[in-house]
Amino acid sequence: AALVPVALLVGYGVVFAVNRALLEIRWILIGPLDQSVRGAITFAAFERVHELGLRFHLSRKTGQLVDVINRGIGAAWQMIFGVLMTLVPVVLDLTVVAVVLVSRFDAIYALIIVATAIAYGVSLVVGAEKLRPYMRKANDEWSEIWGQAVDGLLNYETVKYFNAEIATARRLDESIRKYERTSGISLRV
């Protein structure tokens, strides 16, 4: 009877170690693909922005544009690799668990697991849709912060020439406060 807990702990340790090793192998195999996709997305975004007209560029702050591009590249990467590295393994795990439960126990246990996973997925999608307007507003405000910060640095000579450091800092501080109110996240330490 004393060997059962020890065997379970050893079994868990082996499964954990194999899982970690497989995760590392997966990143070794997918790493080059990751870099290639990230480079292709970055190049496509850069190329697209350069195709846009002068009116577009004159109506945007450089910092805002850089932030939007950067977040877009990150989101595209998350979409591709989120599906590849998270969704596919979770579906495979659920399938294996369901098959084991059906083969060893009643099918009701597998149905409960699958129903729970589906309910969880639906709640994530519904929750994300409800948060979308707030996140969009917070993202716009974050882009405004980056627009002011980067443009203040790009136009450093002008800011210094007109002794506008304090006014520039105050505008940035107000944008940060506005973002903090919208997002509920404090950026101050």
For the whole model, what pTM was predicted?
Answer: 0.64
Alpha helices in the chain (DSSP H): 3-51, 54-58, 62-82, 88-104, 107-154, 156-161, 165-183
Average confidence (pLDDT) per 10 residues, the chain, 189 residues = 86 94 86 86 92 91 88 88 82 88 86 90 94 92 91 91 94 93 82
| Cβ neighbours for 107, distance < 8 A, ≥ 6 positions apart | 101
Please provide the size of the chain in residues.
189
Q: What is the pLDDT at residue 30?
A: 81
Q: What is the pLDDT at residue 12?
A: 93
Q: Which amino acid is at 63?
A: G
Q: What is the pLDDT at residue 189?
A: 66
Q: What is the pLDDT at residue 47?
A: 95
Q: What is the pLDDT at residue 90?
A: 85
* CA separation for the pair 26, 20 (Å, rounded): 10
Q: What is the pLDDT at residue 20?
A: 94
Sign of CA dihedral 93, 96, 102, 105: negative
Q: What is the pLDDT at residue 82?
A: 80
